Amino acid sequence: MSSASAASAEEPAGVAEVARLLAQAQRVVVLTGAGISAESGIATFRDARVGYWSQFDPEVLASPQGFARDPGLVWRWYMERYRGLLNSVPNRGHQALAALQGALPQLTLATQNVDDLHERAGSRDVLHLHGSLTAFRCQRCKRPHHLSSDDPLAVTPPTCTTCGGLVRPAVVWFGELLPDAVMQAVWQATQSCDLFLVVGTSGVVMPAAALPALARSAGATVVEVNLTPSEVTGDAHHFLQGKAGDVLPALLAHMQT
Ligand code: BV8
Ligand code: ZN
Quote the ligand 1 centre to 164 CA distance (angstroms): 31
Predicted confidence at residue 1, as pLDDT, reads 41
What is the enclosing helix (H) or strand (E) of 128?
Answer: strand 127-128
Protein residue closest via CA to atom 75 of ligand 1: 35
Blockwise average pLDDT, block size 10, the chain, 257 residues? 46 91 97 97 76 80 96 95 95 98 97 98 98 97 95 94 97 97 98 98 97 98 97 98 97 91
Contact between residue 239 and residue 221 where contact means Cβ atoms under 8 Å apart: no
Nearest ligand, CA 31: 1
CA gap 136, 142 in Å, rounded: 9
Predicted confidence at residue 13, as pLDDT, reads 81
Quote the ligand 1 centre to 173 CA distance (angstroms): 10
The ligand 1 site (C-beta within 6 Å) comprises 33-35, 38-39, 44-47, 59, 62, 112-114, 130, 171-177, 200-202, 204-207, 225-228, 230, 243-244
Strand-by-strand arrangement of the 127-128 sheet = 127-128, 107-111, 28-32, 195-199, 221-226, 238-241
Contact between residue 1 and residue 236 where contact means Cβ atoms under 8 Å apart: yes
CA gap 186, 184 in Å, rounded: 6
